[in-house]
Amino acid sequence: MGPQTATVRLPYRDELVGDPVRRVVFGGVITTLIDHASGLAVFCSLAELKAIATLDLRIDYLRAAEPGRALVGHAHCYKLTTHVAFVRATAWEHGPDDPFASALGTFMIGANQSVSPVARAVRKKLEESR
């Protein structure tokens, strides 16, 4: 993680396979990888930790990821407003110059503040530090 960016790595596991014949990872796993990296990039863009929610996530699958390889998702929060964050992301298994997926995401900032697990954890930490 760094300012406005996050990179996550997901080791290959047989449980992640969606096509047993080709041994290709299930598309939902890739969606989750990109969503997770994108959310972390939003967190890395905020001055203080707030709850966020994915509003929209558009993923273009450029090709199938190579079976047996760890997957990497990288996201960059390129625009932050008071209530919305905008993110670009890619996923690859060989290197960032050869992605198998690219994405654009929109995230709500301050979503569900009263019931969010993140908001509860932040409040608890603040109370403990007093």
Convert the pLDDT of each residue in 38-67 to its tens digit: 999 999 999 988 889 999 999 999 998 888
Residue-level length of the chain = 130
Specify the pLDDT at position 115.
58
User: Residue 111 pLDDT more than 80?
Assistant: no
Please state the rounded mean pLDDT for residues 93-103: 96
Specify the pLDDT at position 125.
82
Structural domain boundaries enclosing 21: 5-129
Specify the pLDDT at position 124.
83
Specify the pLDDT at position 90.
98
Helix (H) or strand (E) holding 40: helix 27-43
CATH value at residue 74? 3.10.129.10
How many independent structural domains does the chain possess? Answer: 1
Q: What is the DSSP letter of 69?
A: S
What is the pTM (predicted TM-score) of this model? Answer: 0.82
User: Residue 105 pLDDT more than 90?
Assistant: yes
